Amino acid sequence: MASPYVQLAPAKVNLALHVTRRREDGYHDLESLVVFADLADELEAVPASTDTLHISGPFGGGLGAGESNLVWRAVAAFRARWPDAVETGLALRLIKNLPVAAGIGGGSADAAAALRLMAGLSNQAIALADLADMAARLGADVPACLVSAPLVARGVGEVLAPLPEFPACHLVLVNPMVPLATADVFRRLRAHDNYPLPELPSPLTRPAQLGIWLAETRNDLQPPAVKLVPIIGEIVAQLAETQGCMLARMSGSGATVFGLFGSAGQAHQAAQVMRAAHPDHWVAAAPLLVP
């Protein structure tokens, strides 16, 4: 049997997220500083007679492996666009290490991993622009997850400005194991026309610079999410008090909360504090993936 082809699907974290406009189509224009943590789902593939998908891992039980799964949809979209590019069927295995419906990319990251995997197995060159266009049709977060490096996302998430320099920081992620639907959070959003992100310092190379800039930003989805799941607010407050925490805030539409730290030691110490306080929560510490 051939060795499996592996793609990682790193956790996406919105360090700042401003909702700037409600569009006529019902969607919202956003501006978000997006980073990725060295924590990931894993997607493996080996040649097979036909495409199959098996899901395992700590959070695999929360996902169906049917046609609505974003990995399936990504593979199907790729095969429809380039029917002869990957000549064999694939036995796909998704190892779900990250919580589901948690505001950290999840299915979008898995879909992006599937597109990268298919492009990597292709017998023809696949233009990145074509892959990005396909990603945007699969979901608003998929284009950013295709990059999986620090960037500013605008529009509904499809207009990306990668950041060639970014400080090496560390994250603690805490999820209370309460799924939170993005649509429910947006329905409770009071203000739909908020200020855009301030201009980023250039070059942005030091954690202190990032912390000062983030102090002038928000996650506009955090207040409505806290009303739906009040413990999010409690986690933010507790994480903010841990030693060395530059910022504690909710990621995306929740319910995962992140703490931003300048060193690995501070992050791991804070993770221990949060595990002791919330033994039933998912807690992880990891460095950012930086250029």
Active-site residues, by number, are 12, 141
Residue ranges of the domains in the chain?
5-161, 164-287
pLDDT of 101 reads: 85
Angle of helix 128-138 versus helix 107-121 axis, rounded to 10: 150
pLDDT of 67 reads: 87
188-230 per-position pLDDT tens digit: 988 777 789 999 998 999 999 999 999 999 999 999 999 999 9
Residue with tokens 């409600």: 22
CATH architecture of 164-287: 2-Layer Sandwich (3.30)
CATH topology for 5-161 is Ribosomal Protein S5; domain 2 (3.30.230)
Helices (H), 98-200: 107-121, 128-138, 142-147, 182-187
CA distances to 76, 114, 149, 184, 238 from 8, rounded to whole Å, are 19, 9, 13, 29, 31
| Rounded-to-integer distance, Cα 231 and Cα 203, Å | 36
> Considering the entire predicted model, what is its pTM?
0.94
Nearest in space to 16 (alpha carbons), one of 29, 36, 39, 35: 35
Tell me the pLDDT of the chain (291 aa) as tens digits: 345 599 999 999 999 999 998 777 767 889 999 999 999 999 999 999 999 999 999 999 878 888 889 999 999 999 999 999 999 999 999 999 999 889 999 899 999 999 999 999 999 999 999 999 999 999 999 999 999 999 999 998 889 999 999 999 999 999 999 988 888 998 898 877 778 999 999 899 999 999 999 999 999 999 999 999 999 999 999 999 999 999 999 999 989 999 999 999 999 999 999 999 999 999 999 999 998
Residue with tokens 């202190």: 208
Q: Phi and psi of 50, rounded to 5°?
A: -150, 165
- Between CA 42 and CA 176, with CA 179 as vertex, the angle to 5 degrees is 90
| Rounded-to-integer distance, Cα 62 and Cα 83, Å | 31
| Rounded-to-integer distance, Cα 193 and Cα 30, Å | 10
pLDDT of 4 reads: 57
- Between CA 43 and CA 284, with CA 282 as vertex, the angle to 5 degrees is 70
pLDDT of 83 reads: 97
